[in-house]
Copies of this chain bind each other. A is one copy, B any other.
């Protein structure tokens, strides 16, 4: 119990990649850690790891095991930082930490736990192209590791019905090459063919690359795990080299 009260766990996000997009609050939490837990490429973004900081790198699978490790380290008195990309609360480690907390040792609930917000991928992706998320929007992960494809379809249909701008996280992976194609096929039945579709790869890094399509022409095969896909609403449009969604359906006043 005394160990549990001296340890701590902070869940942070590095932002999309560039060091200049990591918040000072996150950098400070990392600097104070004794132990850093995370997917290896995200830990690699932390240039400042000191020799006396223990690094617990893992592959990208089984987030819940990583969360349990982090909680047990904190319970043993360590100052643990769990490192996500982007924002830790958006399709990242924070939810896994609370799942592990709910399932784990009840004593863990007394731990000092904090979440530090960060710049999530869709914000960096939107900034690369203009302001496509300028109106009401939704964010859907196309990963069906933990939810059924029928749930994803139901959400895409509702998003089209609401005329939300749609941000698609995890649009494709080696294990799921067909998800984005299926999503586009569904959306083509519900939305105009000229709806702007953006594939922003490695947003917020020096390697950022944008592919701008219409929904009718978008090639799902061009997206990979590092791509964020944005499907416009009925008002999303181009001005100059930018894509944006006006703030309201009545347009500017």
- B residues near A21, Cβ cutoff 8 Å: 23-25, 117
B162 touches A248 (CB 8 A): no
Interface residues of A, CB < 8 Å — how many? 85
| Best-surrounded residue of A18, A140, A248 (most CB of chain B within 10 A) | A248
In the complex, what distance in Å separates the CA atom of A132 from the CA atom of B251? 32
Tell me, rounded to whole Å, the shortest Cβ–Cβ distance linking A190 to chain B. Answer: 12
Stretch from A41-49, A145-153, A172-180, A209-217 forming part of the interface with B: A145-153
What separation, in Å, do the CA atoms of A156 and B65 have in the docked complex? Answer: 36
| A250: chain B residues within 8 A (beta carbon) | 146-148
For the complex, give the distance between the alpha carbons of A19 and B129 in Å.
Answer: 26
Across the interface, A138 reaches (CB within 8 A) one of B123, B134, B138, B148, namely B138
Contact status B247-A134, CB under 8 Å: no
Nearest CB in chain B to that of A118: its residue:
B119
- Which candidate, A73-81, A88-96, A181-189, is the interface stretch facing chain B? A88-96
Which secondary structure dominates where chain A touches chain B?
A: mixed
- The interface residues of chain B lying within 8 Å CB-to-CB of A70 are none
In the complex, whether A245 has a CB less than 8 A from a CB of chain B is: yes
Contacting residues, chain B, for A151 (C-beta < 8 A):
163, 249
> Contact at B252–A96, with CB atoms within 8 Å?
yes
A135→B158 CA distance, assembly (Å): 16
Q: Which of A176-235 contact B (CB under 8 A)?
A: 204
Closest to A166 in B: B138
Per the 8 Å Cβ criterion, residues 73-120 of A in contact with B are: 87-91, 94-103, 109, 113-120
What is the CA–CA distance of A23 and B127 in the complex, to the nearest angstrom? 14
Binds B, one of A32-40, A51-59, A236-244: A236-244
> B89 to A123, Cβ gap below 8 A?
yes
Q: Which residues of A contact B (CB under 8 A)?
A: 11, 15-16, 18-25, 28, 62-64, 87-91, 94-103, 109, 113-120, 123-124, 126-128, 130-141, 145-148, 151, 154-155, 157-159, 161-164, 204, 237, 239-240, 242, 244-253
